[in-house]
Amino acid sequence: MSSVSQCLILGQLLTFRADPFTATAPESAVHERRGAVLIEGGLIRDVGPADRLRADHPRVAVRDMGDALLLPGFVDAHVHFPQTAMIASWGKRLIDWLNTYTFPEEMRLSDPAYAALIAGRFFDLTLAHGTTTVCSFATSDPVSVEAFFGEARARGVRAVAGKTCMDRNAPDGLRDSAQSAYDDSKALLEKWHGVDRLEYAITPRFTPTSSRAQLHALGALWSEHPECLMQTHLSEQVEEIAWVHDLHPQARDYLDTYEAADLLGARGLYGHSIHLEEREIARLAEVGAAVVHCPTSNQFIGSGLFRAAALRARGVSVGLASDIGGGSSFSMLRTMAAAYEIGQLGGTALHPAQLLWLATEGSARAMHMADRIGTVAPGSEADIVALDLASTPAIAQRAATADDIWEAVFPTIMMGDDRAIAQVWVGGAPVTC
């Protein structure tokens, strides 16, 4: 996808000047009722009041989005693109859900044609919902990684993925070994990491499906390539935690199974992390690792209540994710709504500023990419979404009575879907969804 050389996008503009979890939420952002973003060569070159930018750049082509709200493209920090076709599969807890739905579907992606079909479908759906960056698990077959990166590169999106490594407690068609996990991951990393806007993530699925030998092999690979992200799952369900304790009776806790294998670090992404013990929280904060909140998945599979505000207060970095296909929506708007609902159930209602920040800059920070994505700031890559704040009659009638931008955007967070996505730009180029 080639970027537009130069363009001025007009609309309402919301930019963050502070983390809304550490600053007062409403004061953490700046709202321009009539703002503008100048993009050039795939990057954001200037932002601010529309009158100033139009005067400074009188000959630049203008795209006027009216009252639409201009935001960074959404950043989804934990997804499983191979599960696209099996989203919303009924009625199972985590382990049964994996065995009944996930593993059979993932085996299908050993077929290159099917893997390419699903990768294309996945990016069609995520872009239509305003998501411009994803961090995805593939399957244990390198074919799936090739399909994902090939599709992402063709579309020009920033994307992260890795071969999902499993050498036990999985079907024969998905199991690898400690050595093949290392070898395949290293080869894929060397081929794809840093190509265009692509990055590789070392990816043990989770402790129950990786032997100690495999965890240590992947820890060794991460030590050799500390510039890469490492993604896995942690403390999603109580039954899972009990299983980990049975498999690793010597471990102090679930996180210790990763720590003992050199799989705990600042560039680690630990999906779910709902039922954390005190030591785990302290260690995650100490090393600067990130946990990823997957609220629709946590609701759908019945995993529990993630404590976003409490973990941020403890200094733990938090990202936000759809967790397709345990998650039940490709929409980061719906993901934000579920995060709000879980916060309410846990006794802390997240402010709209906190929700929007988690879905953009917060997830970008968790992925160590906030210098490139997740912000509408000069120097950032021009991944932008224009949000229609009156996309349905129900939303429009509520937003019409809003006293400020937070009251205007909150109905879209709670009730919005792909109809609210007025336009998406990837690397400065408009996307047809």
Closest residue by Cα to residue 204 from 268, 115, 300? 268
Q: Which helix (H) or strand (E) holds 287?
A: helix 278-287
* Structure-block tokens of residue 342: 């879980």
Structure confidence at residue 431 (pLDDT) = 96
Q: Identity (one letter) of the amino acid at 27? A: E
Asked if the model's pLDDT at residue 421 lies above 90, the reply is: yes
* pLDDT band (50, 70, 90) for residue 5: confident
* Structure-block tokens of residue 275: 């039922």
Share of the chain above pLDDT 70, in %: 99
Asked if the model's pLDDT at residue 1 lies above 60, the reply is: no
Find the DSSP H helices in 30-131.
Answer: 50-56, 94-97, 103-108, 112-128
* Structure-block tokens of residue 319: 């990202």
Per the CB < 8 A criterion, the answer to whether 252 and 280 are in contact is: no
Per the CB < 8 A criterion, the answer to whether 382 and 353 are in contact is: no
Asked if the model's pLDDT at residue 112 lies above 90, the reply is: yes
Q: For the chain, how big is the Rg over CA atoms in Å? A: 21
Structure confidence at residue 3 (pLDDT) = 43
How far apart, in Å, are the Cα atoms of 32 and each of 37, 374, 389? 11, 18, 15
412 CB-near residues (< 8 Å, 6+ apart): 333, 387, 388, 389, 391, 395, 399, 420
The neighbour count for residue 179, using CB atoms within 10 Å, is 12
Instruction: Give residue-wise pLDDT tens across range 203-212.
Output: 999 999 999 9
Asked if the model's pLDDT at residue 187 lies above 70, the reply is: yes
CATH assignment of 6-72+374-431? 2.30.40.10
Distance CA 235, CA 243 (A): 11
Distance CA 375, CA 271 (A): 23
Structure confidence at residue 95 (pLDDT) = 86
* pLDDT band (50, 70, 90) for residue 97: confident
Per the CB < 8 A criterion, the answer to whether 360 and 418 are in contact is: no
Distance CA 29, CA 313 (A): 19
Cα-based angle 44, 428, 193 (whole degrees, multiple of 5): 90
Asked if the model's pLDDT at residue 42 lies above 90, the reply is: yes
Structure confidence at residue 139 (pLDDT) = 98
Instruction: Give residue-wise pLDDT tens across range 217-260.
Output: 999 999 999 999 999 999 999 999 999 999 999 999 999 999 99
Q: Which helix (H) or strand (E) holds 268?
A: strand 268-272
Share of the chain above pLDDT 90, in %: 95
Q: Identity (one letter) of the amino acid at 129? A: H
Euclidean distance between the first and the last CA atom of the chain, given in angstroms as a whole number: 14
* pLDDT band (50, 70, 90) for residue 2: very low
The neighbour count for residue 223, using CB atoms within 10 Å, is 11
Say if residue 347 is exposed, middle or buried (CB neighbours under 10 Å; 0-12, 13-18, 19+). Answer: exposed
Find the DSSP H helices in 193-237.
Answer: 212-224
Per the CB < 8 A criterion, the answer to whether 373 and 383 are in contact is: yes
pTM reported for the whole predicted model: 0.97
3-state SS class at 33: strand
pLDDT (mean) for 370-391: 98
3-state SS class at 230: strand
Instruction: Give residue-wise pLDDT tens across range 330-379.
Output: 999 999 999 999 999 999 999 999 999 999 999 999 999 999 999 999 99
112 CB-near residues (< 8 Å, 6+ apart): 143, 146, 147
Asked if the model's pLDDT at residue 19 lies above 80, the reply is: yes
pLDDT (mean) for 17-27: 92
Structure confidence at residue 25 (pLDDT) = 84
Q: Where are the domains of the chain?
A: 6-72+374-431, 74-366
3-state SS class at 394: helix
3-state SS class at 409: helix
374: left (phi over 0), alpha (psi -120 to 50) or beta: left
* pLDDT band (50, 70, 90) for residue 433: low
How far apart, in Å, are the Cα atoms of 113 and each of 117, 144, 191, 192? 6, 10, 21, 20
Per the CB < 8 A criterion, the answer to whether 77 and 45 are in contact is: no
Tokens 């239509």, residue located: 128
3-state SS class at 106: helix
Structure confidence at residue 333 (pLDDT) = 98
Asked if the model's pLDDT at residue 432 lies above 90, the reply is: no
Q: Given 3.30.70.120, 3.40.50.10490, 2.70.98.60, 3.20.20.140, which CATH number is that of 74-366?
A: 3.20.20.140
Distance CA 397, CA 249 (A): 57
Per the CB < 8 A criterion, the answer to whether 201 and 228 are in contact is: yes
Per the CB < 8 A criterion, the answer to whether 205 and 137 are in contact is: yes
